[in-house]
Structure 1
Amino acid sequence: MSDEATDDGRPDLGDVPAAPPAGETPLRTPMTEAGARVRTPDPLALVIFGGTGDLTRRKLMPALWALRADGLLPEGFAIVGNSREEIGEDDFRERMRGALAEFDEEPDADDWAGFSRRIRYVHGSTDDPGTFNRLKQVLEEVERDCGTQGNRMFYLALPPSVIAQTAQGLGRAGLVTGAKDPAWTRIIVEKPFGRDLESAQGLNASLLEVFRERQIFRIDHYLGKETLQNLLVFRFANTIWEPLWSRNYVDHVQITVAESVGVEGRAGYYDRSGALRDMIQSHLLQILTLVAMEPPASYDADSIRNEKVKVLQSIPLLQGDDIGRWAVRGRYGASGKGGEDDRGYLDEANVPEGSRTETYAAVRLTVDNWRWEGVPFYLRTGKKLAGKQSEVVIRFRPAPHPIRDLVHCDSPAPNALVLHIQPDEGMSLFFEAKEPGIRGPLRAVSMDFDYNRAFGVESPEAYQRLLLDAMLGDATLFARRDEVEAAWTLVTPILEAWEREGEPEEYPAESWGPRCADELLAQEGRSWHQPTG
């Protein structure tokens, strides 16, 4: 990887990957007429590092159980958990059954009995070579007993500080297959992918010493959400939107990820991260790329990710005085309503005295290319806000000519398209209509699309889709090395400026954030679209 910098101060991220060798190209997934998957993955052993952790209990086991119920796990399948806890295999299985009962549903006894026989456990730290030797022995056993055919997927549900050493341990133990081996190996890495550009580059370099880029699946669970998956279909399968999707008709774009909860006992992690690192660098910039990208030449993983990287590389860096003008931060205080849980961030357990970590961040970015020149993209995220809501708002330009002679009102409000990401996935198109009556006033009305109501089924959990795609070798919804580093390139100058000086502006819990966030848009005569959740 080149360390040279480009003229605008960005690191040279190198060439995007060439087309994969024929032996590494995932097969296109056959589809039924209804669009359902009909191909199950190859036989494999799924190794979960951090097997007794919260992510495994809350998300991974329920997702795997759902895939089993849908018939999407192969006959040759095994789960191998790993953690430092010295527990027996039966204890680990019972914990996994308890996780399903708590976060999904109580499993049927017969179904669980058959499934649990495919679950194994290896205890030990990832800094101990003996752990990988024991793991290698267990993988050889499950290959014989469960028919996994030597295919392995390693899920690193681990703190960022031990990702590199775990990957290196797998390599030294001979657990990673080469390009010419008949069996395959893949690794899934959870965010955050580093703390800044330099650490992200270091992490990627460590991973690439052991794994090829096509074996690395950097997971961002937001990309597994139904609305974001459907965004490409919405844009590129419906010709009515493409003529409007540019600076000619779009005034600005807002991307909001609002959380109603605080740090929920995770202050030890969160205080080292903050809203900009935790959310904007990953989730919100990923959403921006899907909104702004050009139609890909084809819909394979690399073609789509190539277009996403082009968007990130088209965003000018915020530097100097522009950071103070276009990037703002806040920190929640008490709401003032009283109660045991009504406390500000600095009063949360395990938050160090004098912390300057932000719990709210908002930035204004632009995409300097032919399609989006001059269109601002406003990104915001925060904790302890007035509601839990994630959405994208495409605000169109106002109508060019007033119609005051027809109705008793000023000019009509601009149209807006709102993509609801969570909790209720769907879309709303807002436009103006005249109220009944002679020369009645205008009122904003909407046409709404709700996934669950339209299709009569609940959207699958994000991890269900992402685990299946990784098993199938489809990397479309996973971040590539150059994509991760391009995102950190944009965020790192802001982080460095905030670390040098200033304090987050306090905002009351259960509000929509600090005053400086409203002023960010007011500079250009705009205001935030407030979610209804």
Structure 2
Amino acid sequence: MSDAATPAVTCAGAPADWQNPLRDKRDKRMPRIAGPCGVVIFGVTGDLATKKLMPAIYDLANRGLLPPTFALIGFARRDWKDQDFGDIVLTAVKAHARTPFRQEVWDRLAEGIRFVEGAFDDDAAFGRLADTLKKLDAERGTGGNHAFYLSIPPKAFPQVLEQLSTSGLATKPDGCWSRVVIEKPFGHNLKSAEELNTLVNSVFPESSVFRIDHYLGKETVQNILALRFANQLFDPIWNAHYVDHVQITMAEDIGLGGRGGYYDGVGAARDVIQNHLLQLLALTAMEEPVNFSPDELQAEKIKVLSATRLVAPLDDNTSRGQYTAGWQGNEQAVGLLEEEGFSQTSTTETYAAITLDVDTRRWAGVPFYLRTGKRLGRRVTEIALVFKRAPHLPFDDTMTDELGKNALVIRVQPDEGITLRFGSKVPGHAMEVRDVNMDFSYGSAFAEDSPEAYERLILDVLLGEPSLFPVNQEVELAWKILDPALENWASHGKPEPYESGGWGPESAFEMLRRSGREWRRP
């Protein structure tokens, strides 16, 4: 590739608040703003790019968090010009952006939109991409700073990474940065994750690798840290002396729809437990970090994951299922094997539940129950700390018939907030104690809307802020925890069927009943 026609570009970083030199440093409401940069998206024709990435980039621009010279570059096998790609982005923005459409914001963003046609095995196409980025650096002042977003199937990672390396796009001179963003799944098991990490780090240093787990960008997930470490109220009871068990649930009320090609062979455990739910466990169980710097936060999560193991025997303490036809609300739903893209002999699970122990002083003896599934009773993600009963109740049995265990429930989605369940006297002459809820809701407590997870995470990539991104060791430890369950299930034939609209297979309920516990019904 030749850069004879392209003026030389001097790499120049910029302070995070470079757009606003008059910014009051004491105003904590003012977010950090990305400096000069551009984002290259591989896989711009996919649902993720259309429904999440492009709208999130527009929303960041609309909130004033991107520089005026920001550039967005699409790469795909399409016979498109820059304007054609711009029209695709505009359609995605109008359909899926969370902030109001403003023509002046769009016009400024559109000035930096470019498209490069090519396949992943096309050396010349990556040469054209390099030339395009050099021209943008010179013409728009993107500063030689580029993030490469791999919104592509994992099997294409090696080829794209090799092309980024051989074309020189992965390495930059001092003062510039080059970062890669990788979507899950991060491997298929521990061995493949180790191979993927080795491959990625052969091209990009770990400090330039951002593995997206969009759950970590959710406001309520980050609020776990505020709830635990900003309040003296909860710390004394956040341990095995008071907590009976912890339930972490991610339930969906939808089926696979058109995702059969992706999902078959992956399954619920790999798709959700290995990343989302184990990250939620780490944030729930970790010790207080010295500070919230990336290194300190990641170190505490790694300690927890290192101490986490499946509870044996696995046949009794894990469960997997596959949804069958049934009623989802007032609609008749088909079973998984009738969904497009699935074989009648598929053993892919759509429900998975596991029991974990965290072998630390704080949590010894407290089981952590993780579950996820599709076609369940409702869409909900929550973390529930269920507390032990009081050691002595000075009431007759009839007075506490309707009293359950105290619980602290962090609602990640929907209806984001926190619920505290405790016993209270029922009004009247008799002493009758019943469960009541005390609720905190984000929607009613704050006027500001929470940013969408991808907005937060994309901005953090551009700022070089890695706190919310799992590092190599976290990914590999998560697979080390889950692999024994996957291997055990592989020898057991088909998953257990469960009816759409219910709450999973019978074996999942038995898993808790053996210890006298039961799943929450969100």
TM-score class normalised by the smaller sequence: over 0.9
2:376 aligned with 1:381, yes or no?
no
Shift of 1:114: 2.2
2:135 aligned with 1:150, yes or no?
no
Q: TM-score of the superposition, structure 2-length normalised?
A: 0.93
Distance 1:316 1:137, change over 3 A: same
Query: Tell me, what secondary structure is at the counterpart of 1:298?
Result: coil
Shift of 1:292: 0.3
| Alpha-carbon separation, structure 1, partners of 2:116 and 2:182 | 20
Matched residue type, 1:212: P
In structure 1, the residue matched to 2:158 is 164
CA contact (8 A) 1:62 1:103 kept: yes
Query: Tell me, what secondary structure is at the counterpart of 2:484?
Result: helix
Query: Tell me, what secondary structure is at the counterpart of 1:408?
Result: helix
| Alpha-carbon separation, structure 2, partners of 1:50 and 1:525 | 48
Shift of 1:108: 3.3
2:431 aligned with 1:437, yes or no?
no
Q: Which of 446, 451, 474 does residue 455 from structure 1 map onto?
A: 446
**Structure 2 unpaired stretches of 5+:** 1-11
In structure 2, the residue matched to 1:5 is none
Query: Tell me, what secondary structure is at the counterpart of 1:297?
Result: coil
| Alpha-carbon separation, structure 1, partners of 2:201 and 2:61 | 32
Q: TM-score of the superposition, structure 1-length normalised?
A: 0.91
- Mapping for residues 44-59 of structure 1, pairs under 5 Å: 44-59=37-52
Q: What is the total number of aligned residue pairs between the two structures?
A: 505
| Alpha-carbon separation, structure 2, partners of 1:338 and 1:393 | 25
| Alpha-carbon separation, structure 2, partners of 1:215 and 1:101 | 32
Q: Which of 318, 323, 332 does residue 332 from structure 1 map onto?
A: 323
In structure 2, the residue matched to 1:491 is 482
Q: Which of 134, 140, 147 does residue 128 from structure 2 map onto?
A: 134
Shift of 1:106: 7.1
Distance 1:338 1:417, change over 3 A: closer
Distance 1:338 1:257, change over 3 A: closer
Shift of 1:107: 3.2
Distance 1:376 1:491, change over 3 A: same
In structure 1, the residue matched to 2:59 is 66
CA contact (8 A) 1:43 1:148 kept: yes
In structure 2, the residue matched to 1:75 is 68
Shift of 1:46: 0.6
In structure 1, the residue matched to 2:226 is 233
Shift of 1:403: 2.5
Q: Deviations over 1:223-251 (max 9, x none)?
A: 11111111111101111111111101110
Distance 1:517 1:114, change over 3 A: same
Matched residue type, 2:388: R
Distance 1:34 1:291, change over 3 A: farther
Q: Deviations over 1:250-283 (max 9, x none)?
A: 1000000000000021001101200010000011
CA contact (8 A) 1:366 1:376 kept: yes
Q: Deviations over 1:458-501 (max 9, x none)?
A: 21100011111111111110010000000011111211221222
Q: Deviations over 1:333-380 (max 9, x none)?
A: 011589985210011111012001100000000100100000000000
Shift of 1:33: 5.7
Distance 1:508 1:403, change over 3 A: same
In structure 1, the residue matched to 2:5 is none
Deviates more, 1:73-82 or 1:194-203: 73-82
CA contact (8 A) 1:398 1:412 kept: no
| Alpha-carbon separation, structure 2, partners of 1:69 and 1:395 | 42
Deviates more, 1:341-350 or 1:272-281: 341-350
In structure 2, the residue matched to 1:6 is none
In structure 2, the residue matched to 1:7 is none
**Structure 1 unpaired stretches of 5+:** 1-22
Q: Which of 315, 320, 326 does residue 308 from structure 2 map onto?
A: 315
Query: Tell me, what secondary structure is at the counterpart of 1:154?
Result: strand
Query: Tell me, what secondary structure is at the counterpart of 1:47?
Result: strand
Q: Which of 393, 400, 407 does residue 416 from structure 1 map onto?
A: 407
| Alpha-carbon separation, structure 1, partners of 2:329 and 2:94 | 35
| Alpha-carbon separation, structure 2, partners of 1:34 and 1:290 | 28
In structure 1, the residue matched to 2:275 is 282
Distance 1:44 1:316, change over 3 A: same
Distance 1:334 1:406, change over 3 A: closer
2:223 aligned with 1:253, yes or no?
no
CA contact (8 A) 2:346 2:494 kept: no
CA contact (8 A) 2:328 2:500 kept: no
Shift of 1:57: 1.0
Matched residue type, 2:88: R
CA contact (8 A) 2:41 2:151 kept: yes
In structure 1, the residue matched to 2:201 is 208
| Alpha-carbon separation, structure 1, partners of 2:439 and 2:26 | 26
| Alpha-carbon separation, structure 2, partners of 1:338 and 1:295 | 42
In structure 2, the residue matched to 1:176 is 170
In structure 1, the residue matched to 2:6 is none
- Mapping for residues 470-489 of structure 1, pairs under 5 Å: 470-489=461-480
| Alpha-carbon separation, structure 2, partners of 1:54 and 1:497 | 33
Shift of 1:76: 3.0
CA contact (8 A) 1:97 1:107 kept: no
Q: Deviations over 1:191-236 (max 9, x none)?
A: 0001111111111010011110000000100011111111111101
Q: Which of 242, 247, 256 does residue 263 from structure 1 map onto?
A: 256
Deviates more, 1:128-137 or 1:281-290: 128-137
Distance 1:335 1:341, change over 3 A: closer
Distance 1:337 1:115, change over 3 A: closer
2:407 aligned with 1:394, yes or no?
no
Shift of 1:443: 1.4
| Alpha-carbon separation, structure 2, partners of 1:164 and 1:233 | 39
Shift of 1:111: 3.0
Query: Tell me, what secondary structure is at the counterpart of 1:209?
Result: helix
| Alpha-carbon separation, structure 2, partners of 1:348 and 1:73 | 41
